């Protein structure tokens, strides 16, 4: 049962929330470091058991979400990108189409939407699965068998999600750019495929590829760590699982947006 704590002053309340936030950040940071250590030190341990789990997570967070990502990319490409191209064309700013596409789709829309989709479909399932496993004592059962729960449960999820969000983002970008061009073609805007793709190629710099990979891997790692932390890191009762899921989603959304803002600064610097 949740207890409502009585605060004497508003600053008590703010201070308490701030301490709670710091405690959470410390916990998630610790889980991230432990996971990284386990992933490196136990890379060769139980490969035949853990590596198939990584592939399973990639299938779940990546391959199974591909149709959804393609649909979303196609729809957004038509609606958002197509219209942007039309407006630019109306003002005779066709030369900026490539720059706008790269900025909007490659740097921002692609990674964020892929991350949100994976959070909604797989991140929430992670919290429920791990929270239930924790509440039902499956984690202790693993420990009793000498199996490291971080190695068996967390490492595959982190690796799977990080790689899946990266792959989905690439597919999202390709589909969005293609469907955007399809829209301009259907609208009869005088833009040849060669011109369109030349503009895109001219606008892309090598840092875009590096930062895209870094950003999506960061999003995937962050979502996986937060969802695993909420599911595993505290002794939950079954009735606490739904609340933990809600908390994890809120933290992931805020965290992903903050990480995105951090990458905007990096883009501005490079």
Q: Which residues bind another protein (CB under 8 A)?
A: 44-49, 136-138, 140-141, 143-148, 152, 235, 237
Minimum distance, C-beta of residue 149 to another protein, in the bound complex (Å): 11
* 56 versus 198: smaller Cβ distance to another protein: 56
* 148 versus 208: smaller Cβ distance to another protein: 148
Minimum distance, C-beta of residue 225 to another protein, in the bound complex (Å): 20
* 146 versus 194: smaller Cβ distance to another protein: 146
Q: How far, in Å, CA of 237 to CA of 1, rounded?
A: 10
Is residue 259 within 8 Å of 222, Cβ to Cβ?
Answer: yes
Is residue 92 within 8 Å of 190, Cβ to Cβ?
Answer: no
Is residue 52 within 8 Å of 114, Cβ to Cβ?
Answer: no
Minimum distance, C-beta of residue 5 to another protein, in the bound complex (Å): 17
Minimum distance, C-beta of residue 270 to another protein, in the bound complex (Å): 41
* 109 versus 133: smaller Cβ distance to another protein: 133
What distances in angstroms separate CA 160 from CA 44, 78, 218, 257, one per listed residue?
17, 30, 12, 21
Look up residue 141 and give its two tokens.
């059962």
* 83 versus 240: smaller Cβ distance to another protein: 240
Taking the CA atoms of 22, 24, 25 and 30 in sequence, report the sign of the dihedral they define. positive
Minimum distance, C-beta of residue 50 to another protein, in the bound complex (Å): 8
Radius of gyration (C-alpha) of the chain in whole angstroms: 22
């Amino acid at each position: 049962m949740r207890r409502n704590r009585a605060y004497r002053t508003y600053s008590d309340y703010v201070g308490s929330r701030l301490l709670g936030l710091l405690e959470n950040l410390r916990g998630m940071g610790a889980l991230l470091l432990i996971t990284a250590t386990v992933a490196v030190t136990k890379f060769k341990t139980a490969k035949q058991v853990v590596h198939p789990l990584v592939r399973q997570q990639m299938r779940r967070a990546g391959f199974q979400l591909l149709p959804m990502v393609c649909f979303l990319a196609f729809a957004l490409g038509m609606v958002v990108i197509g219209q942007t191209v039309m407006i630019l064309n109306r003002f005779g700013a066709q030369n900026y189409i490539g720059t706008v596409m790269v900025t909007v789709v490659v740097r921002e829309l692609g990674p964020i939407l892929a991350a949100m989709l994976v959070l909604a479909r797989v991140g929430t399932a992670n919290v429920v699965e791990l929270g239930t496993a924790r509440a039902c004592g499956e984690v202790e059962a693993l420990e009793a068998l000498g199996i490291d729960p971080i190695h068996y449960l967390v490492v595959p999820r982190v690796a799977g999600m990080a790689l899946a969000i990266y792959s989905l983002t690439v597919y999202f970008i390709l589909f969005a750019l293609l469907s955007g061009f399809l829209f301009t073609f259907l609208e009869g805007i005088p833009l040849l495929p060669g011109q369109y793709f030349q503009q895109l190629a001219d606008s892309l710099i090598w840092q875009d590829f590096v930062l895209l990979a870094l950003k999506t891997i960061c999003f995937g790692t962050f979502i996986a760590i937060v969802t695993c932390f909420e599911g595993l890191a505290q002794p939950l009762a079954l009735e606490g699982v739904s609340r933990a899921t809600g908390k994890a989603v809120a933290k992931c959304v805020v965290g992903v947006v903050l990480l995105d803002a951090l990458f905007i600064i990096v883009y501005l610097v490079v």
